[in-house]
Structure 1
Amino acid sequence: MSGYFVQLIVGTRPEAIKLAPLAHALAAAGVAPHLVLTGQHPGLRAADHGLGGLPCEELGCAGIEDPVEHAALVAAALASVLVRRQPDLVIVQGDTSSALGGAMAAHEAGLPIGHVEAGLRSYDRAMPWPEEGNRIAIDEIADLLFAPTPGAAANLHREGFSGTVHVTGNTGIDALHATLATLPRATHKLAAVGAALNIVVTCHRRENWGPGLGSLAVALVTLAAEGCAAIEVVLHPNPRVAEVMHLLFAGQPGICLSLPTSHPAMIDRLRRADLVLSDSGGVQEEAPALGVPLLVLRDKTERPEAIACGNAILVGTTTGKVLSEVRRLHADRAALAAMARPALPFGDGRSAPRIAALIRAWLIEQDRPQVARRRA
């Protein structure tokens, strides 16, 4: 073992899913991973995501309505942990308030920062808010910037940040491959021409709270009534969003509400769907890899690669746009089939060992000046 250890900041289920492959890859590379669970998603357990047994500290900072305040709470709670532990590197993933709080605390403590999933940009701080601002703020202070795609790396180079940029792929695809290996093999054929499409829906982004969810609901109820779609709406763990979904869809013919589910169960749902409607960043990465057509329920996306490869279409939540696209794909099965060809714009499933090797090499390089000074 090298004696190096890194602190991984985990606040949400997507962070746990995407950092689990990296934690294992770091351990295999001789760099010890230690966890900090911020508590942003209450009930999140390391063991549920293959992270059990790792050294772990819990901050107890449950998510609150104001994400800016939550980031500050995480930073304050984490400060003493970092000062006491003095990790060789602090790793944050994505753009949550936990990730921002973790980066802020590390920066204040004078510790180096690695940002997994760096460089994503919608170039609109309101879409999504606060995530767009969070990821920019993290990229500004990170020492190692692990960009999932060449496009994300180009964003970072264009903005001129001081951190070292590496194109690595997205660890979410590693997690997807690992999950698929645990599921029974499944073959899926698109619904026959004229038959109702099997549609899976998720929607939780703040930008869609209120009018967005309302206009989407009108479209889904209409599609179900027309008989061109059998719709499953998978509820989000956020109770505020779930409550609104219940009010909009409970008892509507042709629409089934499902409780929040595990990552493997969600992947199984996605791979069996004819069409997915979602505003989730993770689903935008997973759908192309699974070969599942996706309508993105957002007006802008920081993952344009899913659109460029032909697996996804940006539709927003406007009733007319959602209706027209679903009706078009219901009528034109050739167009739907063209969107169902698997693609890997977000990586080859080996991103975690790639990042782990880069981290180990960087840590060794940081040690060399100290060794040289001691020898002198």
Structure 2
Amino acid sequence: MKKIALVFGTRPEAIKMAPVYLALNGSPLQPVVIATAQHREMLDQVLELFGITPDYDLNIMKERQSLSDLTSRLTKALEDIYKNEKFAATLVQGDTTTTFVGALVSFYHKVPVGHVEAGLRTNDIYNPFPEEVNRRLVSVIATYHYPPTEQARKNLLAAGISEKNMLVTGNTVIDALLWTTKNKSLEARRIRESLGLEDESYILMTMHRRENWGEPMREVMKAIKKILSEKKDLKLVFPVHLNPVVREVVYEELGEYPRVLLTEPLDYLPFVSLMEKAKLILTDSGGIQEEAPALGKPTLVLRSETERPEALEAGTAKLVGTSAEKIVEETLKLLNSTEEYEKMAKSVNPFGDGKASERIVTHLIEAFGA
């Protein structure tokens, strides 16, 4: 049986690779999970939910490590595995440092790379940083490209990538989301009840990107205070990233503010449960821009660029940047206008139908004659 290495290390990667792993498990190909644990605690939560036990766990996480340090340590750890294993292909997902290094080491060993969620672009190498460059570099290395949307396919073609081994699949995050809402609905309701949110109106927020550290984040916190002062029946729920740079600002600005619930980073299931009942979502995350439309949740993106323009074109998300004034304006517009709210909430999700993983595995089986 031919082995397919699945290399991932962060929670978003794990969520999006989990349905691919499940699909491979029922196929003639053998998945071999290499968890780098670039994000240790958040990764483990997803592995447990989907019942995935890594074949290799590199435990690479180290507090405040630089990108150069992370890259060199990942390279060495993966090299040791690839010297002793015979893989037919490697699958990497998205645009993290794990994604890039996984593709690079696979290339060094002449193992073809499949890139799940290929073709996302902002065309600004520093925004988001370092993700934009990571995904471009993986596109150069990869043999098999799995863009989630037609726009992503066009981005790859514009970059000179051959269409020969390219397949538009939809995004595997929708596969994971639909699996979770179908199989874990009772647990999701109990989670909301435990937080006192089952019958409450609330905004769900996430924020962690490097380009938003410092003053941009303080601007967003200022906007939150203004919104809550205008809407007395509204709460804010904010799972705070573990990075000390993020936590310092968030707790200083919102730690004692009324109707703000700051939590530790949430497992995937609790986060899905909060998305299900949120009024709207404020985020600088990429993945949430794909997930929220599947649940009918308007999403305001705390960034100046997005590699997911399909969300903007479909009307499911809107870029608001980090200006307090702009965030307040757009949030209140949604909260005060049923027409504006429903226009976003009822837009069709452009990111998939829940069958992306099946398409990827079918394509690999055909490629290897399995």
The answer to whether TM tops 0.5 is: yes
Please, what TM-score do these two structures have when normalized by structure 2?
0.91
Q: If you compute each CA radius of gyration, which structure gives the higher value, 1 or 2?
A: 1
Provide the rounded CA distance (Å) in 2 between the counterparts of 1:266 and 1:53.
22
Q: What aligned pairs does 1:217-366 form with structure 2 within 5 A after superposition?
A: 217-227=221-231, 229-341=234-346, 343-364=348-369
Q: CA deviation at 1:86?
A: 1.6
Q: Tell whether the 8 Å contact from 2:316 to 2:349 is kept in structure 1 after alignment.
A: no
Q: Conserved in 2, the CA contact under 8 Å of 1:225 and 1:254?
A: no
> 1:117, CA displacement in angstroms?
0.5
Q: Secondary structure at the match of 2:315?
A: coil
Q: Letter of the aligned partner of 1:353 in structure 2?
A: E
Question: Contact 2:275 / 2:297 at 8 angstroms: preserved in 1?
Answer: yes
Aligned in 2, Cα 1:234/1:7: closer, same or farther, shift over 3 Å? same
1:198 to 196, 202, 208: 202
Name the counterpart of 2:173: 172
Please list the CA deviations of residues 12-68 of structure 1 after superposition, one character each: whole Å capped at 9, or x if unmatched. 1111111110011112121110111112112333741424346x1122221554224
**How far did 1:239 drift?**
3.8
* Long gaps (5+) in structure 1: 187-195, 366-376
Partner of 2:7: 9
Task: Name whichever of 168-177 and 62-71 sits farther off.
Answer: 62-71
SS at match of 1:111: coil
Distance 1:76 1:314 in 2: 39
TM-score when scaled to structure 1? 0.90
Identical-pair percentage: 36
Distance 1:146 1:93 in 2: 9
Instruction: Answer yes or no: is the 8 Å Cα contact 1:292–1:342 preserved in 2.
Output: no
What is the aligned-residue RMSD (CA, Å)? 1.8
2:195: which partner in 1? none
Tell me which amino acid in the other structure corresponds to 1:18: K
Question: For this pair of structures, how many residues does the alignment match?
Answer: 353
C-alpha contact 2:314 2:347 (8 A) present in aligned 1:
no
Alignment check: 8 A CA contact 2:3 2:86 kept: no
Asked if structure 2 preserves the Cα contact closer than 8 Å seen for 1:297 and 1:317, the reply is yes
Q: Is the 8 A contact 1:145 1:165 kept in 2?
A: yes
Aligned to 2:193: none
Letter in 1 for 2:22: H
Structure 2 partner of 1:98:
98
On the 8 A contact 1:73/1:101 being kept in 2, the answer is no
**Residue 120 of structure 2 is aligned to residue 120 of structure 1:** yes
CA contact (8 A) 2:14 2:47 kept: no
Output the CA distance in 1 between the equivalents of 2:144 and 2:30: 18
Contact 1:235 1:258 in 2 (8 A): yes
> d(CA) in 1 for partners of 2:51 and 2:122?
31
Name structure 2 gaps, 5 residues minimum: 190-199
Amino acid at match of 2:33: L
2:240/2:263 contact within 8 Å kept: yes
